[in-house]
């Protein structure tokens, strides 16, 4: 596997992490043999240090540094919440046009998610402790109602949302969307198994529909603004196109056009 590099300079490199790939080795996924950090080291022929992480099922922008010192400087920007991240997600139901979720979250263990097991909804195997402040802003970009019965309703509703985490808690976006009763499609831990299975069977989306599409911050060494973007691709992009949602996205977030 060759990783897509979005940006590289003497201090950092950003990749578009595919879904299903761990950021680094996890004791809960001890059977996994591929990790973004090792693949990138092999691809570039030099050591890299992960600045932050993405869940195994989440795709999109992931930052690495080329030295421990660079990693600390970038990590401090994340800790100060000086990094603006935007995610795209497909959720169950039709949330409000916009809103802010201010809901504290308990600490979670440092393991990562295993393979999707559709239908498993419980929060299990997690070490909880004192709650931490957690805030997420969201915007509804598009919505659809399908003539497909799920649960006790004759139709099923879904929406495309842009999510901006103002804090960086474990599984924050997934847990916050569950908290407001609009779980992310494809989420085996916090989502709804019946909806996950229906989307798989009818629309071929076999993944967590959560993608980090844009990241903005001031480069800690050059002092210049840096904007990174990772357009949608694969199952996620195909579903958005099929449901007629491409026009709801900024042009910079669209999948690259192919000729022919």
Domains, in order of start, for the chain: 4-248 (3.30.2350.10)
Bridge pairing between strands 59-65 and 210-218 = parallel
Global pTM reads: 0.89
Gap between the Cα atoms of 157 and 57, Å rounded: 23
pLDDT of residue 32: 61
pLDDT of residue 31: 61
Question: What mean pLDDT is predicted for residues 74-99?
Answer: 94
pLDDT of residue 137: 98
How many separate helices (H) and strands (E) can be counted in the chain? 5, 12
Which residues participate in catalysis according to the annotation? 55
List, for residues 141-192, the tens digit of each pLDDT value: 999 999 999 988 899 999 999 999 999 999 999 999 999 999 999 999 999 9
| Average pLDDT of every residue of the chain | 89
Model confidence at 222: pLDDT above 50: yes
Gap between the Cα atoms of 201 and 197, Å rounded: 6
């Amino acid at each position: 596997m060759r990783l897509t590099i979005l940006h590289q300079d003497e201090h950092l490199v950003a990749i578009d992490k595919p879904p299903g790939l761990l950021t680094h080795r996890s004791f809960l996924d001890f059977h996994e043999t591929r990790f973004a950090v090792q693949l990138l080291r092999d691809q570039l022929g030099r050591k890299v240090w992960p600045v932050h992480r993405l869940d195994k099922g989440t795709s999109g922008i992931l930052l690495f540094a080329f030295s421990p010192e660079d990693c600390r400087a970038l990590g401090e920007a994340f800790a100060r919440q000086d990094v603006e991240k935007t995610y795209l997600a497909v959720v169950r139901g039709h949330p409000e046009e916009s809103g802010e979720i201010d809901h504290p979250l308990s600490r979670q263990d440092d393991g990562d998610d295993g393979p999707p097991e559709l239908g498993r909804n419980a929060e299990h195997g997690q070490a909880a402790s004192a709650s931490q402040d957690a805030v997420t802003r969201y915007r509804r970009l598009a919505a659809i109602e399908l003539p497909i019965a799920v649960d006790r309703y004759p139709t099923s509703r879904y929406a495309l949302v842009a999510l901006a985490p103002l804090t960086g808690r474990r599984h924050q976006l997934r847990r916050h969307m569950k908290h407001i009763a609009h779980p992310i499609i494809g989420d085996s831990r916090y989502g709804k198994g019946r909806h996950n299975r229906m989307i798989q069977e009818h629309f071929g989306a076999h993944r967590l529909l959560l993608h980090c599409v844009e990241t903005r911050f001031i480069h800690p060494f050059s002092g210049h603004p840096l904007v990174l973007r990772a357009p949608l691709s694969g199952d996620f992009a195909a579903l958005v196109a099929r449901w007629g949602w491409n026009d709801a996205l900024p042009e910079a977030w669209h999948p690259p056009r192919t000729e022919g």
